[in-house]
Amino acid sequence: MNIDLNQYFGDYKHTNVKILNQYISILDNKVSKYYNFGKPFFKGEHKFNYKEYLTGRTLNYNPLTAEEVFEYISPLYQNLPNWNNPGTMINVIPPVNLVSMASMSFSELYNPNLAQDTYAGLLITAELEVSKYIADLVKWDWKQSLGVFTFGGKGTNLYATKISLAKACPETKELGCERNKYFMITSENGHPCHYEVCNWLGIGKNSCIDVKCNVDGRINVQETEKIICNNIEQGKIFLGFNLNGGSTNELTIDPIREIFKMNQKIVNKYKLNYTPHIHVDSVLGWVYLFFNDYDYTNNSLGIEKEQLEKIQSLSQKVQEFKYADSLGIDFHKTGFCPYTSSLFIVKNRKDFYNLGEIKEIPLEELQYGKYNPYETTLELTRPSSGPIMALTTLKSLGISGFQQIIANMFKSTERFRNILKQNENVCIINENAQWLTTLFILKPKEYKNLSLSQILNLGAEAIQKIKEYNVNYAKYILEKGKNGEISFTFTASRSYKIPNTNIKLGALKAYPMSVFLNENEVVKLVKDIVNTIEDYEDKLNYIDYEKLDTINDNMVYKEKK
């Protein structure tokens, strides 16, 4: 049997895009039976055991046709979350910009490798161009900065921590790390990966010290200074900071300018021969840089006063990104790109070149045939997908496009909260939050007349009851969402603490990331939510929670703490 090369590889004399489009169309027809219009998940089988599935799999000896392959893999698209659906609110994951998707698919057809420009052609310029745009937005000198795309948010933090170590202790590149010798600073509201990257780099999770926050959720600068001084005086080496540039729940942005000033004070006080690195984990908050030059007086988008004040406040906070040494940017979160498209960018390109063994290449000497990022990057092999998706999204939407989408998200979120809180069963936790995430709880019958402050004064037994009531409701709607019975889905956290307390109520979390969520959709969405609340109350004594646990337990998650 001779293999039909053209079926699998096309014709080297042509671009083969027609074949690719034909294949996508065939696959779309195969998968369409699972698509669930207006529902949060694709249709699918939930009683699925991975071992049983794999046990029955064997690799075919003879080639299969493209259509046979698509028929075979199409069932794997079952149960996919549909992020386009306005009611799919289970995480900060957006709908995909089709322009970015098309450019990525076409680019990957030619298998470029951003290890060096000779393997990627001028597609490697996309990474340089995106980095320039971000540097411009941050108000860094783009000619001195440098950015590389990496495997995700943990990758951006890994780069930052590695640079911190290289700046403070260059000898570790050859000699390795000493036990219990170093420390990093993060916020108690920081992402869990701030600890994880310390583990991966061999300096240990315990070397990442989290600092308590003020009432507003931002890192306490005075407490930070005390911790740094105490550890330095105990003989430890201070590597730097991993600060919040927009936390997941509240979009908290730490006071970066204050940290910058305090960092200089530490350098002078202890006569350090290096400056500890300041990284801002801004994978979510970076999009508010698009409002740098927005005229809040004329307000051309007609954003309502309360929403406008929130956007302006966030925009003012992200202006302080310029005091950081590096940033993490996730285009696959608030940039409406497919996974993964994470950019790590440094203010001073010398910091980046310090990671490798080669000398810094001045920008003016960077010519085609001489650009080899693999000599410094963590990955020797890097796809073009992240940079090309980011570039096409930035160019297709432009600054005003991002402004319009963000403004609409704020408008829809405000509408969502205002209608939802009118229900006597609901108590909004973060009614005045600046970010889009809505945190709320349902009140069991006996507590319906209580306010949030009154609930927080209840005893431990009542608090636990309310927590379980909400966690089980989250499992209940996840089950109904997966069965296609409702138009929405969100989740809950077992361990989310009400701000400035140690009280855990099993907060429900709705992340409105769909660009299609408008005021009309909000009305339908809340109506559907209210119906499930009433249904849940009626069926409370008849729900099989063990069954729900097996399907949905992983989605009712725990916070870092």
Mean of pLDDT values over 159-177:
96
pLDDT-based confidence at 271, cuts 50/70/90? very high
Structure tokens at 27: 């696959």
CB-CB contact of 408 with 518 (8 Å): yes
β-bridge partners, 327 = 280, 345
* Least confident range of 283-287, 362-366, 515-519: 362-366
Q: What is the DSSP string of 63-86?
A: ---HHHHHHHHGGGGTT-B-TTST
Q: Edge to edge, what strands does the sheet with 326-330 contain? A: 146-150, 342-346, 326-330, 277-281, 237-244, 182-187, 208-211
Once rounded to an integer, what is the mean pLDDT over residues 500-509?
94
Does 532 score more than 50 pLDDT? yes
**pLDDT per residue over 86-145, tens digit each?**
999 999 999 999 999 999 999 999 999 999 999 999 999 999 999 999 999 999 999 999
Confidence category of residue 559, pLDDT binned at 50, 70, 90: low
Is 112-383 CATH 3.40.640.10?
yes
Domain boundaries, the chain: 5-36+48-79, 112-383, 404-555
* pTM metric for this prediction: 0.95
Flag the least confident range among 247-251, 272-276, 481-485, 537-541. Answer: 537-541
DSSP string, 513-551: --TT--HHHHHHHHHHHHHHHHHHHHTGGG--HHHHHHH
φ, ψ at 117 (rounded to 5°):
-65, -30
pLDDT value for 561: 43
Nearest to 127 by CA among 391, 357, 350: 391
pLDDT tops 50 at residue 345:
yes
pLDDT of residue 323 exceeding 90, the answer is: yes
Strand partners, 186: 210, 242
Residue 141 is predicted with a pLDDT of: 98
Cα atoms in the Cβ-side hemisphere of radius 13 Å centred on 334: 26
Is the model's pLDDT at 554 over the cut of 80?
Answer: no
Higher-scoring residue by pLDDT: 500, 18: 18
Query: What is the rounded CA–CA span in Å between residue 385 and residue 100?
Result: 9
Average pLDDT of the chain to the nearest whole number: 95
**Residue 257 buriedness (CB in 10 A; 0-12 / 13-18 / 19+):** middle
Six token digits for residue 494: 């077992």
Do 404-555 and 112-383 fall under one CATH topology? no
Supply the CATH classification number for the domain 404-555.
3.90.1150.10
pLDDT, one tens digit per residue, over 470-490 is 999 999 999 999 999 999 999
Residue among 524, 382, 512 at smallest CA distance from 439: 512
| pLDDT, mean of residues 478-505 | 92
